[in-house]
Amino acid sequence: MRSTGARSRLAGRVDKVLNSALAGQPGVSLNVSAVELLAEPIPVAAVISAALARPETNLTGHWRVHELFRRSGLSQDLIDALVHANPVTRAGAARLCGAARLTEAVPWVGDLVRDPNPKVREAAIRALAQLGGRRAVDILIAAEDTIPLYRLAIALSKAASDIDIEALMRQPKSEKAATVTVLACGLRHDVLRVPPLLGIAHDRRWPRQVRIASCTSLGMIGDAAAVDGLAHLAAGDPDPAVKKAAARAERRLKRIAAGVQP
């Protein structure tokens, strides 16, 4: 087994090359093999994710990193590793493909959502959340029967665009899909979704769990504009569970407005 220092050295090498690529330096190459990266996927994925998550890293920066992996021959090697016989390798490949935003890997990562190994499944869900895009969203929603509700909501909140969220709210494929979509709005702190979330919470044609999730999301978003609507639900909705969820969200918003930690 390699030492912690060895793992840090590899991650440090990758980080140094990424910084050069993001700075636009010509002729940058990543002189490591996929085997080396797959031996230490967690620290390497962490430095890649951190580099791409910097505020100054724009679409050009993402393209430069993508090209760096392609020119180095790593993109195809990592995609090939997604079907490796060893589940540790499959999980590591999913982590690295997600961290590097290798969007061409989405279909193969999607297959791993139903992998028999739970660590591979979790790595695939995490990777799809990072990869994002409509294909990743469709895969996540299609696998709703295999992913716990809140885990799916977290992944969807990261993977979906505003357009994806709007489409899913308008025409959810199932009750669970509707529930995770409104929860994703809360996790994204999406203030623009406050009016439709209030509409869902008040509309008794929606299933109970979707209405409760809408109240929960309104509390997470923390917009004072939702207080009156939640108060109305808390005072008079005939469903006790919805009343309770609305009252909890209303209290949270009032604490936020008063400057009290919710």
Tell me the CATH number of domain 152-262, given options 1.25.10.10, 3.30.70.3000, 3.40.50.11030, 1.20.1260.10.
1.25.10.10
How high is the pLDDT of residue 240?
Answer: 97
Write down the pLDDT at residue 262.
Answer: 64
Closest CA to 44 of 76, 83, 2, 80: 2
Q: What is the pLDDT of residue 3?
A: 41
Q: How far apart are CA 154 and CA 104, in angstroms?
A: 22
Sign of the alpha-carbon dihedral angle for 36, 8, 94, 79: negative
Torsion of CA 108, 112, 116, 118, to 10 degrees: 150
CB-CB contact of 99 with 69 (8 Å): no
**112 closest CA partner among 132, 134, 99, 127:** 127
Give CA–CA dist 8/29, Å, rounded. 19
Domain boundaries, the chain: 1-131, 152-262
Task: Say which residue the tokens 């430095």 belong to.
Answer: 47
Question: CA–CA separation, 184 vs 146, rounded Å?
Answer: 18
- Are 165 and 185 in contact, with CB atoms under 8 Å apart? yes
pLDDT at residue number 8: 74
Phi, psi at residue 121, to the nearest 5°?
-60, -45
Class level of CATH domain 1-131: mainly alpha
| Residue among 160, 118, 101 nearest 136 (CA) | 160
Q: Identify the burial level of 65 via C-beta atoms within 10 angstroms of its C-beta, where 0-12 means exposed, 13-18 middle and 19 or more buried.
A: buried
Check if 1-131 and 152-262 are the same fold: no
Residue 253's Cα: distance from chain center in Å? 25
Say which residues have a Cβ less than 8 Å from residue 150's Cβ, sequence separation at least 6. 183
CB atoms within 10 A of CB 154: 19
pLDDT in tens, the chain (262 residues): 344 444 579 999 999 999 999 998 888 889 999 999 999 999 999 999 999 999 898 999 899 999 999 999 999 999 999 999 999 999 999 999 999 999 999 999 999 999 999 999 999 999 999 999 999 999 999 999 999 999 999 999 999 999 999 999 999 999 999 999 999 999 999 999 999 999 999 999 999 999 999 999 999 999 999 999 999 999 999 999 999 999 999 999 999 988 776 6
